């Protein structure tokens, strides 16, 4: 799986699917979209940073300041919401 | 006339007629001069790593090094039939060392020329210079500490660890738990600060503040009742990691101010930064003090920002920040946290001073 920006249309479903396969590949475990990855020990603090960078590169968003908080990364669903919100915000100001 | 040359971090040895006298595949007997054995042991004690690049049969040559009692001194031996420049490049890559910190010794001018042609920054020495090597400034590091004497073992343990991680299938935390990580946070002594300084010289660090505190400044605060200078060391079942981090903390009654937190890149993947923060937050909660951390964004400390943010630090204002002296530079941010008790870190065994209890007692 590459970290190239995606060209397919980005929807909640596509982000969720891509994240689930990324996690499955990386942790060798299948995870439901609402599982708390930190509570279950699937994600170490190191891997958390890898996740931040993965989302930024794959979806061309910048995750900074107050958005960098654990609660935005606990589950696949929360990460999906974060990516959608950041993409909408950058589209709304006409940014690329 | 010229500056002291950069210290050699790894010396790569040829074997036939360089390390030993004779040609392994032709002669019945090769001999090892005592002076060569002494040189190998001396360089090892100075923290200079040693490797091998030899055109030889791997099994035979390695068995000979074992029989001579020298095999343990060499990391990443390259014994085979490829060009020596490839061996030296591979060694530098695996060690993550710049070519300018690698030296190569060989009795054959053609081999030295081949290495120089492809790797001009590698310093090459003829075998007849062997006996003077230990006297050369580039083989004489200025500081030699407990960690430099153990450097080779730390690297060897690192390679074993990498191999196990590559073979491990399962969640991150399970692997980390299998390492049986031990972290020890201690109040610094002069000797420990030397190890920290060596760490800052040799490895790039995750320096959260981007502000450098000199060895002298830190030494000056060792006895200051308003400051804690803390050094972190780590070990796991493969062996020691040595001194991996340093903290400078100003401990007021209402606010603890983390002025410096730096950890070695070598232990970032074990979550060392997060583990240190987890402990500090728990101690501050017991002391009833808010926590403020200085942070200056650089192009290489993003991980540290994420560690702070994921631990709960934010840029939201608090009255406690107003009472602190102005930051030393305009681009230093102050991240803030109202601490709550934390559970012990899930994947490592921690030993640390009772910071909160000590400060409450001092004030009683
Ligand atoms: Zn406060």
List the CATH number of the domain containing A22: 1.10.1200.10
Domain count along chain A: 1
Chain A contact for B315, CB < 8 A? yes
Per residue in A37-63, pLDDT (tens digit) is 887 766 666 677 778 888 998 898 999
Joined tokens for residue B255? 């606010």
pLDDT computed for residue A7 by the predictor: 60
pLDDT category at A85 given cuts 50, 70, 90 is: very high
CB A73 within 8 A of CB A59: no
pLDDT computed for residue B328 by the predictor: 81
CA distances from B82 to A72, B267, B293 (A): 51, 34, 52
Domain presence at residue A80: yes
Residue numbers in A near B274 (CB within 8 A): 45
Chain A contact for B114, CB < 8 A? no
Residue numbers in A near B268 (CB within 8 A): 46
Among chain B residues, CA nearest to A67:
B309
A28/B170 touch (CB, cutoff 8 Å), yes or no: yes
B274/A68 touch (CB, cutoff 8 Å), yes or no: no
In this complex, the residue of B169, B172, B314 whose CB is nearest that of residue A66 is B314
pLDDT computed for residue B202 by the predictor: 53
Chain A nearest C-alpha distance from B192 (Å): 27
* B10-139 and B171-363 in the same fold: no
Chain A contact for B300, CB < 8 A? no
Domain presence at residue A58: yes
pLDDT computed for residue B1 by the predictor: 42
Based on the number of CB atoms within 10 Å of its own CB, is B219 exposed (0-12), middle (13-18) or buried (19 or more)? middle
| Length of chain A measured in residues | 96
Angle at B244 between CA B239 and CA B245, to 5 degrees: 155
Residue numbers in A near B307 (CB within 8 A): 45, 49
* Superfamily of domain B10-139 in the CATH hierarchy: HAD superfamily/HAD-like (3.40.50.1000)
Radius of gyration of chain B (CA): 24
Domain presence at residue A21: yes
Residue numbers in B near A51 (CB within 8 A): none
Per residue in A64-78, pLDDT (tens digit) is 889 999 899 999 999
Chain A contact for B172, CB < 8 A? yes
pLDDT computed for residue B42 by the predictor: 95
Residue numbers in B near A27 (CB within 8 A): 170-172
Give me ligand 1 centre to Cα B254, in Å.
8
Give me ligand 1 centre to Cα B195, in Å.
33
Chain B nearest C-alpha distance from A39 (Å): 10
Chain A nearest C-alpha distance from B187 (Å): 25
pLDDT computed for residue B2 by the predictor: 53
Domain presence at residue A19: yes
pLDDT computed for residue A8 by the predictor: 64
Q: Provide the domain limits for residue A56.
A: 12-90
pLDDT category at A96 given cuts 50, 70, 90 is: very low
Contacts of B315 (CB under 8 A, 6+ apart): A65, A66, B333, B334, B335, B336
Low-confidence ranges of chain B (pLDDT < 50): 1
Among chain B residues, CA nearest to A38:
B173
Give me ligand 1 centre to Cα B291, in Å.
7
CB B90 within 8 A of CB B76: yes
Residue B110 CB coordination number (10 Å): 9
- The region that residue B47 occupies, defined by phi over 0 for left and psi between -120 and 50 for alpha, beta otherwise, is left
Half-sphere exposure of B309 (CA within 13 A, CB side): 22
Domain ranges of chain B: 10-139, 171-363
Q: Which of B90, B89, B122 is nearest to B105 (CA)?
A: B122
Based on the number of CB atoms within 10 Å of its own CB, is B83 exposed (0-12), middle (13-18) or buried (19 or more)? middle
Residue numbers in B near A46 (CB within 8 A): 172, 268-271
Give me ligand 1 centre to Cα B309, in Å.
16
Angle at B304 between CA B298 and CA B305, to 5 degrees: 75
Give me ligand 1 centre to Cα B295, in Å.
16
C-alpha span between A94 and A90 (Å, rounded): 6
CATH 3.30.70.3040 fits B171-363, yes or no: no
Give me ligand 1 centre to Cα B100, in Å.
48
In angstroms, how far is the first alpha carbon of chain B from the final one?
60
Give me ligand 1 centre to Cα B288, in Å.
11
Whole-prediction pTM: 0.73
In angstroms, how far is the first alpha carbon of chain A from the final one?
24
ipTM confidence? 0.84
Domain presence at residue A6: no
Domain presence at residue A45: yes
In this complex, the residue of B169, B171, B271 whose CB is nearest that of residue A45 is B271
B310/A44 touch (CB, cutoff 8 Å), yes or no: no
Give the CA-trace dihedral at B87, B91, B97, B100, to 10 degrees: -30
Chain B nearest C-alpha distance from A36 (Å): 14
C-alpha span between B204 and B96 (Å, rounded): 11
A46/B269 touch (CB, cutoff 8 Å), yes or no: yes
C-alpha span between B279 and B101 (Å, rounded): 37
Among chain B residues, CA nearest to A27:
B171
Give me ligand 1 centre to Cα B325, in Å.
14
- Helix ranges (H only) for B16-57 are 34-45
- H or E stretch at B49: strand B49-55
Chain A contact for B310, CB < 8 A? yes
CB B282 within 8 A of CB B339: yes
C-alpha span between B226 and B253 (Å, rounded): 10
């Amino acid at each position: 799986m590459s970290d190239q920006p995606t060209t397919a249309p980005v929807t909640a479903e596509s982000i969720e699917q891509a994240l689930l396969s990324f996690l499955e590949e990386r942790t060798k475990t299948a995870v439901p979209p609402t599982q708390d990855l930190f509570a279950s020990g699937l994600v170490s603090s190191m891997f958390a940073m890898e996740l931040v960078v993965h989302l930024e590169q794959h979806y061309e968003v910048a995750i900074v300041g107050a958005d960098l908080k654990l609660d935005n990364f606990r589950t696949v669903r929360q990460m999906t919401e974060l990516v959608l919100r950041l993409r909408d915000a950058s589209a709304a100001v006409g940014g690329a | 006339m010229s500056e002291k040359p950069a210290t050699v971090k790894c010396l790569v040895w040829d074997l036939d007629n360089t390390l030993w006298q004779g040609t392994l595949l032709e002669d019945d007997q090769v001999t090892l001069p005592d002076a060569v054995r002494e040189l190998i042991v001396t360089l090892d004690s100075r923290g200079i790593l040693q490797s091998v690049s030899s055109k030889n049969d791997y099994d035979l040559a390695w068995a000979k090094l074992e029989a001579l009692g020298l095999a343990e001194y060499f990391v990443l031996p390259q014994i085979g039939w490829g060009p020596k420049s490839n061996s030296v490049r591979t060694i530098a890559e695996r060690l993550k060392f710049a070519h300018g910190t690698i030296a190569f010794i060989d009795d054959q001018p053609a081999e030295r020329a081949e290495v120089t042609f492809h790797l001009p920054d590698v310093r090459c020495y003829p075998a007849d210079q062997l006996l003077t090597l230990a006297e050369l400034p580039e083989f004489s590091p200025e500081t030699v500490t407990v960690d430099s004497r153990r450097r080779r073992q730390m690297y060897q343990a690192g390679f074993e660890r990498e191999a196990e991680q590559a073979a491990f299938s399962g969640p991150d935390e399970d692997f980390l738990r299998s390492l049986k990580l031990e972290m020890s946070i201690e109040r610094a002594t002069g000797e420990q600060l030397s190890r920290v300084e060596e760490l800052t010289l040799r490895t790039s660090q995750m320096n959260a503040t981007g502000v450098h505190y000199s060895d002298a400044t830190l030494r000056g605060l060792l006895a200051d009742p308003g400051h804690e200078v803390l050094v972190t060391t780590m070990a796991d079942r493969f062996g020691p990691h040595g001194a991996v981090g340093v903290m400078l903390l100003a401990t007021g009654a209402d606010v603890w101010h983390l002025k410096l937190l730096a950890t070695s890149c070598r232990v970032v993947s074990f979550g060392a930064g997060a583990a240190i923060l987890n402990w500090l937050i728990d101690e501050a909660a017991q002391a009833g003090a808010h926590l403020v951390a200085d942070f200056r964004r650089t192009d290489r400390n993003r991980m540290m920002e994420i560690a702070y943010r994921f631990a709960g630090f934010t840029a939201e204002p608090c009255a406690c920040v107003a009472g602190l002296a102005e930051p030393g530079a305009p681009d230093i941010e102050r991240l803030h946290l109202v601490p709550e008790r934390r559970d012990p870190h899930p994947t490592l065994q921690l030993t640390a001073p009772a910071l909160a209890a000590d400060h409450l007692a001092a004030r009683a």
